[in-house]
């Protein structure tokens, strides 16, 4: 079954910052997402969770529409939306980037690190020119954005979103933020 049965919400602490984490459970799949932000977990359990329990994770647009109605913070909407997509990808047995972009997607975004555009070994290719940044939001809202823009790294799922949805740029903040891209590129080569 791909019906949302339960959520586990928690605040964690990483690098002296608050990290909000969501676990989404269906009868046969699981999705986890994280974003750095402050949030009152009890409010989310009282307002958001009851709206989402019983929805099908395969109905991303419906879930995202509900999130737009009941959640003010776009980062929180991103986390719920991403957890849903991860659960749907798990249900179908697909990597998230393929679920978001189709089975044959091979797009890899350009990496913005510090004030430069770099390759996957952190060789500086050029100074970052004027790049349009998108705020994280539901996956449905992100799908409407200009693909030549840049999304900012929130967690490993950000790479899947950038690759699967065809964004040209992704901004990372630490060298280790690139690890999931390396795994995705390895998987892309396996499926060629």
User: For 4-93, which CATH class?
Assistant: alpha beta
Residue 141 three-state SS? helix
Q: How far apart are CA 143 and CA 81, in angstroms?
A: 12
pLDDT of amino acid 17: 74
Give me the pLDDT at residue 85, please.
97
Q: Tell me which DSSP letter residue 115 carries.
A: T
Cα 3 to Cα 84, 85, 89: the distances in Å are 10, 13, 13
Residue spans per domain, the chain = 4-93, 99-190
- Residue 163: the pLDDT is 92
Beta strands 150-152 and 169-172, pairing class = parallel
Q: Count CB neighbours of 12 within 10 A.
A: 11
pTM of model > 0.75: yes
What does the alpha-carbon distance between residue 24 and residue 17 come to, in Å, rounded to a whole number? 23
Please tell me the predicted confidence (pLDDT) of residue 67.
98
pLDDT of res. 169: 93
Task: Say what the pLDDT of residue 129 is.
Answer: 76
The pLDDT value recorded for residue 16 is 66
Query: For each of the chain's 192 residues, which pLDDT tens digit applies?
Result: 799 999 999 999 877 678 999 999 999 999 999 999 989 999 999 999 999 999 999 999 999 999 999 999 999 999 999 999 999 999 999 999 999 987 777 778 999 998 899 998 899 988 877 888 888 999 999 999 888 889 999 988 999 999 999 899 999 999 999 999 999 988 888 876
| pLDDT score, position 192 | 66
């Amino acid at each position: 079954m791909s019906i949302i049965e339960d959520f586990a919400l928690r605040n964690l602490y990483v690098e002296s910052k608050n990290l909000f984490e969501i676990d989404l459970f269906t009868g046969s799949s699981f999705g986890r997402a994280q974003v750095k932000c402050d949030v009152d977990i009890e409010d989310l359990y009282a307002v958001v969770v009851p709206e989402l329990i019983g929805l099908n994770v395969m109905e991303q647009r419906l879930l995202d529409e509900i999130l737009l109605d009941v959640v003010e913070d776009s980062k929180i909407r991103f986390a719920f939306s991403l957890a849903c997509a991860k659960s749907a990808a798990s249900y179908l047995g697909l990597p998230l980037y393929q679920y978001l972009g189709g089975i044959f997607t091979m797009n890899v975004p350009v990496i913005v690190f510090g004030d430069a555009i770099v390759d996957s070994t952190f060789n500086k290719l050029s100074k970052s020119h004027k790049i349009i940044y998108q705020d994280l939001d539901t996956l449905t809202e992100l799908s409407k954005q200009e693909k030549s823009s840049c999304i900012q790294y929130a967690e490993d799922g950000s790479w899947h979103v950038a690759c699967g949805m065809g964004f040209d740029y992704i901004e990372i903040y630490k060298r280790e933020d690139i690890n999931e891209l390396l795994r995705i590129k390895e998987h892309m080569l396996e499926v060629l």
